[in-house]
Amino acid sequence: MEMPPISSTPRTVEEIFKDYCGRRNGIIRALTQEVDEFYSLCDPEKENLCLYGHPNNTWEATLPAEEVPPELPEPALGINFARDGMNRRDWLSLVAVHSDSWLLSVAFYLGARFNGNDRKRLFSMINDLPTVFETVTDRKLAREKSDSGSKSRQATKRLSDGQIKNNTKPTDEGYGDDEDEHSETLCGTCGGNYNSSEFWIGCDVCERWFHGKCVKITPAKAESIKQYKCPSCSSKRGRQDFLEMLTWKMP
């Protein structure tokens, strides 16, 4: 894959943000508008493939760069191998999450020489945009509320036998534990309707519900989890930790 010349490497916060947006747009095209083409290219019989987004709003599913170390961080390797072993929607969501991580790594690699204020400004600009995962799955994930104060409610983890496990967390008032609320609940991964005969688990961050099988959580495992974070919220926490790591000051 041809890399841009050093002279064209973005230098300012605005330039790197523009580079990020172009790469992000390309990846979103691959996973939405041109998803059939992308899906067909990711044949599990091929070698390790990566999904690249380019600054000019295009994308490419190809082999990783040959040079070691590469000029830029590399995307997740071998995305094609899992294609036929997963539900199509789940596979695309997984690629989207890995793409979000890659886009952040490229942006902060390009801005490695920024001071703390510039890194924070870049992250703030990026964080104002929906993630690739949010865009591809057409979800508007809950944002943290700075004015939540002392309001709280009981969030629940429902077990397959109908038992309820409660965890206190901040949110708006007016919540009820009525069973009718769950009748219209959809799984945050597969979109399936709530069924009391199946094991479900609720995310303590974004407050969405999931089939246990969709997020690979069993009733036994749920009993040992004090605060459950879904894959999306875990990824979002990861990129916040990544920013904090970058803004650490050496003694």
Tell whether the model's pLDDT for residue 150 goes beyond 90. no
Number of compact structural domains in the chain: 2
Regarding whether 132 and 17 lie in a shared domain, the answer is yes
pLDDT band per the 50, 70, 90 thresholds, residue 182: low
Whether 160 maps to a domain, the answer reads yes
- Which two tokens mark 114? 């920024």
The whole-chain average pLDDT of the chain stands at 78
pLDDT band per the 50, 70, 90 thresholds, residue 90: very high
Measured at the CA of 86, the angle between CA 83 and CA 88, to 5 degrees, comes to 75
Regarding whether 105 and 48 lie in a shared domain, the answer is yes
Higher model confidence: residue 175 or residue 36? 36
Whether 147 maps to a domain, the answer reads no
pLDDT for position 158:
44
pTM metric for this prediction: 0.55
Whether 247 maps to a domain, the answer reads no
- Which two tokens mark 138? 């057409």
DSSP secondary structure string, 103-159? Answer: HHHHHHHHTTT--HHHHHHHHHHHHTSPPHHHHHTT--PPPP-TT-TT-EEEEEEE-
Whether 246 maps to a domain, the answer reads no
Regarding whether 165 and 135 lie in a shared domain, the answer is no
Tell whether the model's pLDDT for residue 133 goes beyond 90. yes
pLDDT for position 250:
47
Whether 243 maps to a domain, the answer reads no
Tell whether the model's pLDDT for residue 166 goes beyond 60. no
Structural domain ending residue among the three candidates 110, 140, 170: 140
Regarding whether 73 and 193 lie in a shared domain, the answer is no
